[in-house]
Amino acid sequence: MTLKPDLELVSLVKRYGETVAVDGISYHFDAGTYACLLGPSGCGKSSTLRMIAGHESVSDGAVLLGGRDVSHLPPAKRGTAMMFQNYALFPHLSVRDNVAFSLKMQGTDATTRKSRANEMLELVDMLPLADRLPAQLSGGQQQRAALARALITKPEVLLLDEPLSALDPFLRIKMRAELRKLQRELGITFIHVTHGQDEALALADEIVVMNNARIEQAGATRTVFEAPKTAFVARFLGSHNVVTMPEGKIAIRTDALRIRPAGAARLPATVTAIEYQGTHVALTASIPGDQEVTALLSDRDFFDAPKMEGEAIGLDWDAQEAHALAG
Ligand SMILES: Nc1ncnc2c1ncn2[C@@H]1O[C@H](COP(=O)(O)OP(=O)(O)OP(=O)(O)O)[C@@H](O)[C@H]1O
């Protein structure tokens, strides 16, 4: 078995004139990891991805693949492949010819091209549609064709820029499961850019949360979710309350808040909204300091002792559920 290479970003910088889009980020991705770069619009995710792919020049720092500096190699020579947001399929070429395109560019003969393209189409369940044009495909099918086209070069790292954003919500959830399955089967590294926290949590072994051109927090997905270090990460990942207490800011998960009788808890609160969500009820309450928090209660817990808007309650939590925040 050949050893798959790890990927390392070393003080990576991207400048566009005066704009610093990526400000010296360093991170090590183990081989075979599914990683999501996550963050708000403009935080530098796509610029990072494009520098790894070689579609954007590196202003400073380096991209190392298996210890080899690939920062200045052309995209096709790096061992990476990129799948673009809009799939970028050629409209006048059949699905099979789209998939085989990079092999044609490399001068591979027609018979080999066809059999390799068929192999890739089989992998993504698209062989029966190989002779269609892209316009004759659904969104999910176009995405599969684009995946097959990216994978035909046998990359060690597949880079995906918002791969699910063009799909409707139902298909998005279906395709994300397929992406994860494909990554496990291939055993290669996937680096997936998204601004959707639910997508990142569902897919990634590791998440890299970016903010203002820097990495705000990164690590194993569950570790980051369980212990956000900054208010930004806690808010961006969702399902957390950020509360300013006398001792400083803390993050508490919405499902860690407990409702107690007024006066018999850490915090006095007044219910401001109740939202029924089927399996759960989201109870929003105001707390001292003009702050608002949300408690996510199981429907049973809520309906055993229902609360009304305007009612005075107490809020409690186990000490280990509160995470001190740096900012
Ligand atoms: N070609 C370019 N020329 C000048 N500035 C650019 C260019 N591409 C990106 N930028 C700027 O660099 C910053 C980071 O952009 P980037 O596309 O990497 O962010 P992003 O996190 O991927 O955002 P989005 O989620 O909106 O795609 C932004 O301020 C953006 O305006």
Question: Closest Cα partner for 257 from 230, 293, 291?
Answer: 293
Q: Which atom of ligand 1 is nearest to the CA of 46?
A: 22
User: What is the helix (H) or strand (E) element at residue 49, kind and residue range?
Assistant: helix 45-53
CB 318 within 8 A of CB 252: no
Span from the CA of 179 to the centroid of ligand 1 (angstroms): 25
Q: What is the pLDDT of residue 1?
A: 47
Taking the chain (327 residues) in runs of 10, the rounded mean pLDDT of each run is 83 97 97 96 96 96 96 93 83 94 88 93 91 91 91 94 86 89 93 94 96 97 95 95 93 96 90 96 96 96 95 95 88
Q: What is the pLDDT of residue 168?
A: 84
Probe target for ligand 1 pocket from 20, 22, 45, with the most ligand atoms within 8 Å of CB: 45
Within this chain, do residues 222 and 269 fall inside the same structural domain, yes or no?
A: no
Q: Is 244 helix (H, G, I), strand (E, B) or coil?
A: strand
CATH number of the domain enclosing 70: 3.40.50.300
Span from the CA of 235 to the centroid of ligand 1 (angstroms): 22
Within this chain, do residues 286 and 192 fall inside the same structural domain, yes or no?
A: no
Probe target for ligand 1 pocket from 9, 14, 18, 19, with the most ligand atoms within 8 Å of CB: 19
- Please, how many CA atoms are within 13 Å of residue 50, restricted to the half-sphere of its CB? 17
- Whether 78 maps to a domain, the answer reads yes
- Whether 237 maps to a domain, the answer reads no
| Protein residues whose CB sits closer than 6 Å to any atom of ligand 1 | 16, 19, 21, 39, 41-47, 195
- Whether 115 maps to a domain, the answer reads yes
Q: Indicate the number of domains in the chain.
A: 2
Span from the CA of 213 to the centroid of ligand 1 (angstroms): 10
Within this chain, do residues 270 and 192 fall inside the same structural domain, yes or no?
A: no
Q: Which atom of ligand 1 is nearest to the CA of 43?
A: 21
Q: Which atom of ligand 1 is nearest to the CA of 210?
A: 21
Give the span between the Cα atoms of 205 and 202, in whole angstroms.
Answer: 9
Nearest-CA residue for atom 17 of ligand 1: 46
CB 49 within 8 A of CB 15: no
CB 157 within 8 A of CB 188: yes
- Whether 232 maps to a domain, the answer reads no
Within this chain, do residues 200 and 251 fall inside the same structural domain, yes or no?
A: no
Domain C-terminal end among 168, 198, 226: 226
- Whether 91 maps to a domain, the answer reads yes
Within this chain, do residues 139 and 55 fall inside the same structural domain, yes or no?
A: yes
Q: Which atom of ligand 1 is nearest to the CA of 56?
A: 1
Span from the CA of 55 to the centroid of ligand 1 (angstroms): 13
Span from the CA of 69 to the centroid of ligand 1 (angstroms): 24
Nearest-CA residue for atom 22 of ligand 1: 46
Q: Is 278 helix (H, G, I), strand (E, B) or coil?
A: coil
Within this chain, do residues 50 and 152 fall inside the same structural domain, yes or no?
A: yes
Span from the CA of 192 to the centroid of ligand 1 (angstroms): 16
Domain C-terminal end among 192, 226, 260: 226
Nearest-CA residue for atom 12 of ligand 1: 21
Nearest-CA residue for atom 31 of ligand 1: 42
Q: What is the pLDDT of residue 2?
A: 57
Within this chain, do residues 221 and 249 fall inside the same structural domain, yes or no?
A: no
Span from the CA of 205 to the centroid of ligand 1 (angstroms): 25
ipTM (interface pTM): 0.96
What strands lie across the sheet with 34-38, from one edge to the other? 80-83, 157-161, 189-194, 34-38, 206-211, 214-220
Angle separating helix axes 95-105 and 139-151, nearest 10 degrees: 20
Which structural domain range is residue 249 located in?
Answer: 243-324
DSSP assignment letter at 279: S
Within this chain, do residues 25 and 117 fall inside the same structural domain, yes or no?
A: yes
- Whether 312 maps to a domain, the answer reads yes
- Whether 122 maps to a domain, the answer reads yes
- Whether 42 maps to a domain, the answer reads yes
- Please, how many CA atoms are within 13 Å of residue 241, restricted to the half-sphere of its CB? 26
Within this chain, do residues 98 and 215 fall inside the same structural domain, yes or no?
A: yes
Within this chain, do residues 201 and 283 fall inside the same structural domain, yes or no?
A: no
Within this chain, do residues 249 and 116 fall inside the same structural domain, yes or no?
A: no
Within this chain, do residues 154 and 179 fall inside the same structural domain, yes or no?
A: yes
